[in-house]
Amino acid sequence: MKSEVHCSGSTLPALSELVNDKHSRLNPTLVKSRVAPVSAGNMVDFVRMARAAGEKICVAGGRHAMGGQQFLDRGILVDTSNLDKVLHFDGEQGLIEVQAGMRWPQLVDYLRGTATTGGGWAIRQKQTGCDALSIGGALSANIHGRGLRQAPFVSDVEEFKLVTASGELINCSRRENAELFSLAAGGYGLFGLIASATLRLAPRRRLRRRVEMVGADCAVATLEERAAAGASHGDFQFNIDDQADDFLQSGILSTYAPVDPDDGAGGDTAVQSPRKELSEEDWRELIYLAHCDKKKAYDKYVRHYQNTDGQTYWSDVFQLSTYVENYHAAIDHGHGGRHAGSELISELYVPRSMLAVFLRDAAALLRAQGSSVIYGTVRLIEKDTETFMPWAKESWACIVLNLHVEHSEQGLAAAKKSFSGLIDAAIALGGSYYLTYHRFAQRRQLLTCYPQLEAFLRLKQVYDPQDLYMSDWYLYLLNELRS
Ligand SMILES: Cc1cc2nc3c(=O)[nH]c(=O)nc-3n(C[C@H](O)[C@H](O)[C@H](O)COP(=O)(O)OP(=O)(O)OC[C@H]3O[C@@H](n4cnc5c(N)ncnc54)[C@H](O)[C@@H]3O)c2cc1C
């Protein structure tokens, strides 16, 4: 829905608003006001006004980060939802410039509108599990998808336009303002407002899904083998049932490889017979079962995947997901409220050769702490050599774990213990974790996983000496480093 709060005129709106992140609902924040610019020029005017008035600015896209990166207590929130236009499409080079608030489904739809019978252009990667996420948010968190041989999202970005702390609109690329390019990509909004980004596209292709059941000890080897044979995407979704012997130890390995255009059964122009898909109702049931009957949830999910072995998908459309709005409402009210709360995600990284060891350690830790795993998957990532503070410091295995969190003092303390324990388990194997999802990591863990953090914060002072761009997450970092 479009916001009614535009930034125009010569004064800042002064209507405070309670905002929160969409998925965990654990970051309620009272912002001083919210503005929703419609253009880069509008953003510049607003930044200059806020700066002159001595205000602090935070910026939000889809509000799915869960560590308070997009909010600031009593800050002025720049809401990018009205920045949703395509600015330029270059069908020759496969480049598209979009405003930073554009969401993935709009972009996928636009590109499908330009597709030819042979394919056309498609996005390279997006997040899984949720679509109403912005391009600005993707760049600021330097996200990744299910690509088997892809570096994080920065590698898909040709250049972007940034409103700096001095209120200038500048171009950032690998040649122009290169340091700011490397800081704002993965910089969580602390180095300026991204107004638009030019993305590199990939040829739109039809892919065939291959589904196998494998153990954790051969998941990486199988994914790498399928990638070497041409598969472009894939993951390993493991068993979430902590009562089962193979909890986190075996799962569904799916890979996606281009269909031979000459293959009459599934080439580019082939029409699919009724596709086996999970409906929103199926997803609702799965989420419910993942809380209350994990065995049933996992068995149902496995059956669904096995039934889709061999099915074909377009390389952009298959990256879209069903996100059940208010996904936790039925669970909050069912089972006498015993599973009330929400989910928090964590992403851990380990050397690929250590995946099975990590999953064994994680299973022991999560069982010992009585944690409820709602979903988990493993993907591969290639090393990021472009951002100042990369999370993909190596070509790692990425382990995503969604845990249920009870919204109480006790529930949050338990979550902190579990997530912090998982970070230590990854560190012990030479790995790391993703900054996007929570504020549980302590100074020691932050500095071990992000050794550039102090330099990153020093450069923040160089580019934004007045701390115009702030967030509750930024204050947490400063606090931890002072401790
Ligand atoms: C269900 C779910 C599934 C997810 N799956 C994945 C996944 O598969 N892979 C992955 O990598 N991540 C994943 N994530 C994390 C998600 O990609 C990030 O949180 C991402 O930043 C969300 O985009 P957003 O538009 O919601 O950003 P927001 O949450 O609104 O903002 C995130 C950060 O970006 C900054 N920001 C937003 N817009 C701008 C702008 N225009 N200029 C400057 N800074 C800006 C904000 O200040 C904040 O620091 C998932 C999250 C959820 C809840």
| Ligand 1 atom 14, closest CA | 127
* Mean pLDDT of all residues in 81-87: 98
Give residue 144's pLDDT: 98
Residue 94 Cβ inside 6 Å of ligand 1? The answer reads no
Cross-strand pairs, 18? 30
Contacts (Cβ under 8 Å, ≥6 apart) of 185:
139, 140, 142, 153, 154, 157, 160, 386, 387
| Ligand 1 atom 34, closest CA | 137
Residue 30 has pLDDT above 90, yes or no: yes
Q: Which atom of ligand 1 is nearest to the CA of 162?
A: 42
Residue 136 Cβ inside 6 Å of ligand 1? The answer reads yes
Residue of 140, 391, 474 to test ligand 1 pocket, by largest number of atoms within 8 Å of CB: 140
Q: Which of 106-120, 184-198, 392-406 has the lowest mean pLDDT?
A: 106-120
Residue 80 Cβ inside 6 Å of ligand 1? The answer reads yes
Q: Do domains 86-203 and 206-314+324-441 have the same CATH topology?
A: no
CA–CA separation, 199 and 182 (whole Å): 16
Q: Which atom of ligand 1 is nearest to the CA of 184?
A: 43
Q: What is the mean pLDDT of the chain?
A: 94
Give residue 330's pLDDT: 85
Residue 36 Cβ inside 6 Å of ligand 1? The answer reads no
Give residue 260's pLDDT: 81
Residue 394 has pLDDT above 90, yes or no: yes
Overall fold of domain 206-314+324-441:
Alpha-Beta Plaits (3.30.70)
CA–CA separation, 394 and 456 (whole Å): 19
Rg (CA), the chain: 22
Give residue 170's pLDDT: 98
* Mean pLDDT of all residues in 287-299: 97
The pair phi, psi for residue 134, each rounded to 5°, is -90, 160
Q: Domain residue spans in the chain? A: 17-82+456-476, 86-203, 206-314+324-441
Residue 100 Cβ inside 6 Å of ligand 1? The answer reads yes
CA–CA separation, 64 and 80 (whole Å): 13
DSSP H or E segment with residue 1: none
Give residue 9's pLDDT: 53
> pTM for the whole thing?
0.96
Q: How far is the CA of 467 from the CAs of 137, 165, 303, 318, 461, in angstroms? A: 20, 8, 52, 41, 7
194, amino acid identity: I
Banded pLDDT at 481 (limits 50, 70, 90): very high
Surface-to-core class of residue 35, CB atoms within 10 Å of its CB (0-12 exposed, 13-18 middle, 19+ buried): buried
**330 versus 354: which is more confidently predicted?**
354
Residue 315 Cβ inside 6 Å of ligand 1? The answer reads no
Residue 272 has pLDDT above 70, yes or no: no
* Mean pLDDT of all residues in 96-102: 98
pLDDT one-digit tens code per residue, 204-251: 999 999 999 999 999 999 999 999 999 999 999 999 999 999 999 999
pLDDT one-digit tens code per residue, 160-196: 999 999 999 999 999 999 999 999 999 999 999 999 9
Give residue 3's pLDDT: 40
pLDDT one-digit tens code per residue, 405-452: 999 999 999 999 999 999 999 999 999 999 999 999 999 999 999 999
Residue 321 has pLDDT above 70, yes or no: yes
* CATH 1.10.10.60 at 86-203, yes or no: no
Q: How far is the CA of 347 from the CAs of 55, 355, 396, in angstroms? A: 34, 13, 12
Give residue 264's pLDDT: 57
Banded pLDDT at 6 (limits 50, 70, 90): low
Q: Which atom of ligand 1 is nearest to the CA of 62?
A: 26
Start-to-end CA distance of the chain, whole Å, equals 42
| Ligand 1 atom 49, closest CA | 188
Kindly give the distance from the C-alpha atom of residue 298 to the centroid of ligand 1, in angstroms, as a whole number: 27
DSSP H or E segment with residue 253: strand 250-258
Give residue 266's pLDDT: 47
| Ligand 1 atom 53, closest CA | 64
| Ligand 1 atom 11, closest CA | 143
Give residue 445's pLDDT: 98
Residue 140 Cβ inside 6 Å of ligand 1? The answer reads yes
Residue 233 Cβ inside 6 Å of ligand 1? The answer reads no
Give residue 359's pLDDT: 98
Residue 19 Cβ inside 6 Å of ligand 1? The answer reads no
Kindly give the distance from the C-alpha atom of residue 136 to the centroid of ligand 1, in angstroms, as a whole number: 8
Kindly give the distance from the C-alpha atom of residue 65 to the centroid of ligand 1, in angstroms, as a whole number: 5
May I ask the CATH architecture of the domain 17-82+456-476? Answer: 2-Layer Sandwich (3.30)
pLDDT one-digit tens code per residue, 456-468: 999 999 999 999 9
Map tokens 């995407």 to a residue.
233
Q: Which atom of ligand 1 is nearest to the CA of 128?
A: 8
Contact call for residues 327 and 345 (beta carbons, < 8 A): no
* Mean pLDDT of all residues in 275-291: 94
Banded pLDDT at 2 (limits 50, 70, 90): very low
CA–CA separation, 13 and 16 (whole Å): 9
Question: Measuring CA to CA, which residue among 300, 342, 320, 41 is closest to residue 193?
Answer: 41
pLDDT-above-70 percentage for the chain: 95
